[in-house]
Amino acid sequence: MLPTINFTAANTPAKGCVVLLANGDNEMGAAGQALDASGGISAAIKAAKFKGGFGKTLEILTPKDSAHDRILIVGVGAVDKLKEYDWLRLGGRIRASLADVSKIDVMAELPAGDDDKAPGVTAQQCVDMGLGARLGSYRFDRYKTKGKSKKKAQTVAIHAKSASAAKKLWDGHEGVGDGVMLARDLVNEPANILTPKEFAKRAAQLKKLGCSVDILDEKDMKSLKMEALLGVARGSRNAPRMAIIQWKGCKSKDKPVAFIGKGVTFDTGGISLKPAGGMEDMKGDMGGAAAVTGLMHALAARKAKANVVGIIALVENMPDGDAQRPGDIVKSMSGQTIEILNTDAEGRLVLADALYHCNKKFKPKFMINLATLTGAILVALGNQHAGLFSNDDDLSEQLSEAGLETNEKVWRMPLTPEYDKMIDSKNADMKNIGGRFAGSITAGQFLQRFVGDTPWAHLDVAGTAMSSPQTEINKSWASGYGVRLLDRLVANHYES
């Protein structure tokens, strides 16, 4: 169960469990110093050879008549080196160290630095700890009927001078956290439950936050001539959907910014069937669409002052008597024809129509699509960076910067006319695969043929959305990658 986070200015923690922060010299703020009046804490620190290194913890068991049941010292290391992400990690670490404690009092303070400017811990840092505590406690356990950790309510009370400022900031950040966890839920959900129709239904719940949501069904997409997308959907009994989510946080008739997500609810490869080993991971082939949905939740929850469109293209890629074949030629909504040489290169087909439709209908300031598009991006970048492909240097810079701030990192990859040639086809305007090499780049070149002159970026999140490294703020298979990154991009550059 997710902890409740609150902020309080009180500097005397209740009896119970207290967390103190210590820097790399084992120095603590005023509350820590007060608790150590009799030297008990210093003695324990010394006995345990605790050094106050980042993320290291020392739990002190207190005598029966002590004012507190438990004292946890958490090292933060060199204070001036702490980045935003480190505060998230600290929050996750603190909560995990005290997972069985119903109320945790975190004394968010550190000793004043040499310059005496000294703000122990800022409001933003308090909020980051709270967000980290929530994200780190997320578990996908809704299908476990046995052995589920007993649902006990937990409160993390963060005590700080800046409590009232932190409270104000928290409202927005809690919504961003919920957006991340919504994306994780969607990616973790199995494909027998999360069909295109069910996904669209969940996206429609964003209406509760003030978004408008239009759902296109197969008939609507047929009349729009989205034959590239529909070709992929043909093999499945689960009919495709496209959800168009709009958040109008700006009164002006400002052009919107647009985010488009690949939502292949399961990717068998189709007739070009994937091998059996690991195929279960392809329930996560809608990680792009999940991030867009989570992002729209985040922006609406924090009432972002921006006009934003989110489009998610939802299909299932199955082999079937009616599935499309290698060699088939389809006409995309843009009018360009595509020779299908591998039915497993389906994400780009789905996105081709979604991007074209988005551009034509909304004339957005920019389009950013997210997609678990290629296995090749895992070969290139592993799971530390998403691949960034773009026709716009400014947008790329903004994404890289937001990536470093949120630790949802991107790495720019090339797009050039030479790579573009690799997808020219003898029989149609293009083919849907480029050949053995540069697979992530030729996929990017393919998408670029559907965006016109609109500033555009493609994030290949095949390595970052799922099978994620376990960190202080994520203990789940699905990371929710992209939500914090794009929320930050909007906050930094696109709000009035």
Summarize as ranges the residues that interact with ligand BES (CB under 6 A).
267, 285, 342, 344-347, 372, 374-376, 433, 439, 462
Nearest alpha-carbon partner for 91 in 61, 123, 60, 134: 134
Known catalytic residue at 161: no
Is there binding between residue 347 and Zn ion (CB under 5 A)?
A: yes
Is there binding between residue 285 and Zn ion (CB under 5 A)?
A: yes
Is there binding between residue 344 and Mn ion (CB under 5 A)?
A: yes
Q: Which is nearer to Zn ion, 103 or 274 (CB)?
A: 274
Q: Closest approach of Cβ 274 to ligand BES, in Å?
A: 7
Query: Under a CB-based contact definition with an 8 Å cutoff, are residues 231 and 260 in contact?
Result: no
Q: Which of 93, 184, 262, 348 is catalytic?
A: 348
Beta strands in 42-141 (DSSP E): 57-61, 70-77, 103-107
Q: Closest approach of Cβ 228 to ligand BES, in Å?
A: 14
Assigned token pair, 57: 């913890």
Q: Which of 86, 185, 267, 316 binds Mn ion (CB under 5 A)?
A: 267
77 binds, among ligand BES, Zn ion, Mn ion, none (CB under 5 to 8 A by kind): none
Q: Closest approach of Cβ 450 to ligand BES, in Å?
A: 17
Q: Which is nearer to Mn ion, 178 or 344 (CB)?
A: 344
Look at residue 261 and give its three-state secondary structure: strand
Assigned token pair, 453: 């002159």
Known catalytic residue at 184: no
Location of structure tokens 């490869």:
269
Helix orientation angle between 483-493 and 287-301, rounded to the nearest 10 degrees: 50
Q: Which of 56, 274, 305, 365 is catalytic?
A: 274
| CA 443/CA 451 separation, integer angstroms | 14
172 binds, among Zn ion, Mn ion, ligand BES, none (CB under 5 to 8 A by kind): none
> Judged by CB under 5 A, which stretch of 106-114, 265-273, 319-327, 329-337 contacts Zn ion?
265-273
Location of structure tokens 């903004």:
398
376 binds, among Mn ion, ligand BES, Zn ion, none (CB under 5 to 8 A by kind): ligand BES
> Judged by CB under 5 A, which stretch of 103-111, 253-261, 265-273, 413-421 contacts Mn ion?
265-273
Query: Under a CB-based contact definition with an 8 Å cutoff, are residues 458 and 444 in contact?
Result: yes
| CA 249/CA 145 separation, integer angstroms | 41
Nearest alpha-carbon partner for 448 in 387, 377, 389: 389
| CA 79/CA 114 separation, integer angstroms | 12
**Contact residues: Zn ion, CB under 5 A:** 264, 267, 285, 347
**Contact residues: Mn ion, CB under 5 A:** 267, 344, 346
Catalytic (active-site) positions: 274, 348
